[in-house]
Amino acid sequence: MGEMSRAVHEPPTFLRRYVFSTDHKVIGIQYLITAMFMAIAGGGLVALMRMQLAWPGTKWAWLGRIFPDGMESGVMKPEFYLSLMTMHGTIMVFFVVSLGLLGGFGNFLIPLQIGARDMAFPVLNMLSYWTIVPACLVMLGSFWVEGGAAAAGWTAYPPLSAVRTALPGSQWGQTLWILGMALFIASFTMGGLNYVTTIFDQRTKGMSMMRMPLTIWTMFIASAIGLLAFPPLLAAAVLLLFDRHGGTSFFLPSGLYFGNQLLPNSGGTPLLWQHLFWFLGHPEVYVLILPALGITLDLLPVFTRKPLFGYRLTVYCLYAIAALSMIVWGHHMYVSGMSPYVGEFFAIGTLAITVPSTIIGVNMIASLWGGTLRFPTPMLFVIGAIVFFGTGGFGGIFLGNATSDIQLHDTYFVVGHFHLMIGGVTLMAMFAGVYYWFPKMFGRMMSERLGKVHFWLTFPAFYAIFLAMHYQGLAGMPRRYYAFDKYEYLQWLQGSHLHVSLAAFLLFGAQFLFLYNFFRSVFRGRKAADNPWNAATLEWSSPTPAPHGNWGEHLPEVHRWPYDYSVPGATGDCTPQTTPASVAPVTF
Amino acid sequence: MEASTARRVGSSLAIVIWLLALGVVALGLRRWMPPLASEHGAGIDAMIRFSMSAVGSLILIGHCVLGYFLWRFSRQDKISFRLAGHHLERRWSLVAALLMAAIAEGGVLTLGLPVWAKVYDTEAPSNALPIEVTTEQFAWNVRYAGPDGVFGRTSPKLITLDNPLGVDAQDPAGKDDVIDLNVIRAEVNRAVKIRLRSKDVLHSFFLPNLRVKQDSVPGMTIEFWFVPNKTGTFELACAELCGLGHYEMRGLLVVLTTEEFQKWLQEKKNG
């Protein structure tokens, strides 16, 4: 009875239905659109950075009018470049990829794919979204405070981030950065608790853990490691706040000398922050990439019309990656001054991650074997994600290895590596996911033609940019440089900055095609069928778009794993999870 | 109709992916790293070369296989293989796992960590030249211990514009110290033992040609050593974000012959 009444009582007012909604689908879409908006901001920041790197010191009068402080008379100041860089990193990692993948797809898909009417805690879910909105506003708004936005890098290493006179961005910008991160972490924690609880507790009849689609597995594992890893960063951020405004010395040793003045601090160490930051920071990259892998893996069977290769092993590998990810943070600190003996442990531990990662990669490629491949837009991005996961992942072999990291640490090799992984794999998977689940969200299809153009511009440009950066890094080009004209050994790379910048502008421009396609299709897209991709997972057993409560009177019952395609003896090449074993044999 | 589109797209993807792999390998064959000028750097270069070859081969194989699958399976209308048995899955995973373990862990254990241990876990030779480098926004303060091999005492309380290191004039050990800015001079084939300190924020002592990188951390004195084995002038870059002048915090390492170095030290002391 309770179930039924929840299914029919849709919130009556516009405000409760679309703004302060507790419906997981609405919240998921809110997250997704927020992430898209933040991505435009984050992309805009990097477009400005790439202008400076391609044409250093050029005067852009019109930009001087938009940023009277940072680009006074149109020439970019170094401190403004550092603010752009810091906020690009922060926004993209936390406010685009985390928001889009976990907030967006997590909220939208978890109840639909496990057969629940909503999240376990719908109000908490709403609160989690409405905590992220002020976080976004605080982050963006920090550009307009005195000294500009935070500029100590997305890693915010003290003393640069702790001493207010160390850098213009370390005045109010850094304080707002801490506030924004605190709100973000509060929101993530609410979301993460909700995801884990919902997946444990709200699965419909027959949906055992080993019948869950890999998207749900990866959301589950990502939320779990996020819940373990984010609180230490929150603690560290509070300590940093005390150091900045309370006169404490958690990260500040004695003898600091700034601007002809000896600071009174004593007793702290900057390395403590690095440990706390990376204790989050490394699991965080898996929080981002695992759901991306989940989406990639889940879409493969749909567009090959055959089951996934190695489902069970993939689940075990996800567990292995998650466990290892918690004990390898030190590979970001090989040359930080940390004990070199610890470095040996971290090198061996880090390279162990290549083993489960490779198995997952091989499973992806092997899943293509013997299938009938079809390439609507989502599948194109799936292939893109596989390519980036392979190429990007191999970069980790260089960086996880303490010995080669001596040379490559803090060079563009690192920038290229993490962009291919937590920029590329995630972006490709998010695009695949949006094109794929768009009909479920809005009841309409996105334009295939625009989607294909979008892919063929995005994929090669992305590959070119970040592949080139690996080689720039091998040449010893340090990251976080406002210009590269001061060093003779970097002169021969000048041309490559221009090439990378041009590809970056192309990449940025191509995303407007996507935005146009998205918003146009919400209203003008072709009407979608209930199951437009002929897919077997549970979300397609509800009407498209899914109503409030997701299913009518009765929740669906699950009888098989999510990848029963081309079952011998079944009618059609897709056997949904709801099909009983008496109708078609269960093959897993 | 759908089938012919799939064939076209599958082939295009395959060709692009094959071309990308060729691009990766062609670029990888070029010489990127700055010319080597240190003894231990050969070990680091060997490690990187090993990874380059292994990863280059894997990228080539991976892209070829992926491209081939896309090519071939976009051409069929019915699936030709459905579900792998557990045995087959485990076998393929084992192959992948062993190969990757051999390359990644094998590489770090046999080629990587021995070099790492030599760089960090062994004492500098007894004739090493001690040099103190103190970083600040945005400069490298260089101090030589002089003939006594002992650095004079310093204190942050004594720092003034004329005394950027806060050298204690009362300490006799400091009498023969030589102080310089942004230029480090060293002798070829003689170990340099760096004592790295920082006055304000994190910096990183990066000698691209010598394959040396070490963060400087305020509150810590970090010691490490290396042997420059080529004469010449090499650039010293800051590799840890240190503020708005990070990109121009440039120093030099000038590696001299023994005679040149002694002559310079003498002149510096007299001057």
In whole numbers, what is the pLDDT of chain A averaged over residues?
A: 94
- Domain holding A148, by residue range, is 23-207
pLDDT band at A3 (very low <50, low <70, confident <90, very high): very low
Q: Does A407 touch chain B (CB under 8 A)?
A: yes
Nearest CA-CA partner of B187 in B250, B256, B122: B256
Cα–Cα dist A285/A98, whole Å: 10
Chosen from B22, B60, B100 to mutate, greatest number of chain A CBs within 10 A: B100
What's residue A279's pLDDT? 94
Cα–Cα dist A165/A70, whole Å: 17
Residue A201 has pLDDT above 60, yes or no: yes
ipTM: 0.96
Helix axes A377-399, A270-304, angle to 10 degrees: 140
Task: List CB contacts of B265: < 8 A, sequence separation 6 or more.
Answer: B144, B178, B185
Chosen from A263, A274, A306, A358 to mutate, greatest number of chain B CBs within 10 A: A358
Would the CB atoms of A410 and B206 count as touching at under 8 Å? yes
Mean pLDDT of A96-119: 97
Task: List CB contacts of A19: < 8 A, sequence separation 6 or more.
Answer: none
Residues 140-169 of B with CB under 8 A from A: 156-157, 159, 161
Is A90 a member of any domain? yes
What's residue B147's pLDDT? 85
Would the CB atoms of A362 and B23 count as touching at under 8 Å? no
Q: Please list the residues that pair with A556 across neighbouring strands.
A: none
H-run or E-run covering B218 = none
pLDDT band at A11 (very low <50, low <70, confident <90, very high): confident
Question: B220 to chain A: which residues are within 8 Å by CB?
Answer: 253, 269, 271, 337
* Percent of residues, chain A, with pLDDT higher than 70: 98
Cα–Cα dist A160/B243, whole Å: 7
Question: A313 to chain B: which residues are within 8 Å by CB?
Answer: 89-90, 93
Q: Shortest Cα distance from A407 to chain B (angstroms)?
A: 5
Q: Does A491 touch chain B (CB under 8 A)?
A: no
Query: Can you tell me whether residue A574 is helix, strand or coil?
Result: strand
Query: Can you tell me whether residue A532 is helix, strand or coil?
Result: coil
Using an 8 Å Cβ cutoff, are A374 and A303 in contact? yes
Using an 8 Å Cβ cutoff, are A332 and A274 in contact? yes
- Listed by start position, the domains of chain B span 2-76+84-121, 129-270
Task: List CB contacts of B100: < 8 A, sequence separation 6 or more.
Answer: A354, A355, A358
- Does domain B129-270 fall under CATH 1.10.1530.10? My reply is no
* Percent of residues, chain A, with pLDDT higher than 90: 93
Residue A525 has pLDDT above 90, yes or no: yes
Cβ neighbours, 10 Å, residue A438: 24
Mean pLDDT of A116-143: 96
Would the CB atoms of A309 and B84 count as touching at under 8 Å? yes
Is A536 a member of any domain? no
pLDDT band at A5 (very low <50, low <70, confident <90, very high): very low
Q: Please list the residues that pair with B216 across neighbouring strands.
A: B203
Backbone region of residue A553 per phi and psi (left: phi > 0; alpha: psi in -120 to 50; beta: other values): alpha
Amino acid at B17: I
Q: Structurally, how many domains does chain A consist of?
A: 1
- Picking from B59, B200, B211, the nearest residue to A407 by CB comes out as B211
Residue A1 has pLDDT above 60, yes or no: no
What's residue A115's pLDDT? 96
Range scoring the smallest mean pLDDT among A114-123, A310-319, A436-445, B86-95? B86-95
Buried b (16+ CB within 10 A) or exposed e, A337-358: bbebeebbebbbbbbbbbbbbb
Residue A2 has pLDDT above 60, yes or no: no
DSSP A404-455: HHHHHTTBHHHHHHHIIIIIIIHHHHHHHHHHHHHHHHHSBPPPHHHHHHHH
Is A361 a member of any domain? no
Using an 8 Å Cβ cutoff, are A291 and A105 in contact? yes
What's residue B4's pLDDT? 87
Mean pLDDT of A300-312: 95
Can you give the pLDDT of all 271 residues of chain B as single tens digits? Answer: 578 899 999 999 999 999 999 999 999 999 999 999 999 999 999 999 999 999 999 999 999 999 999 999 999 989 998 888 888 888 988 999 999 999 999 999 999 999 999 999 899 999 999 999 999 999 999 999 988 889 999 999 999 989 999 999 999 999 889 999 999 999 999 999 999 999 999 999 999 999 999 999 999 999 999 999 999 999 999 999 999 999 999 999 999 999 999 999 888 877 6
CA triple B172-B175-B178, angle to 5 deg: 145
B64-to-A291, A324, A460, B68, B79 alpha-carbon distances in Å: 26, 30, 17, 6, 21
Taking only the tens place, the pLDDT of each residue in A394-416 is 999 999 999 999 999 999 999 99
A496-499 contact pairs (CB < 8 A, 24+)? A496/A468, A496/A471, A496/A472, A497/A53, A497/A54, A498/A54, A498/A55, A499/A464, A499/A468
Task: List CB contacts of B169: < 8 A, sequence separation 6 or more.
Answer: none
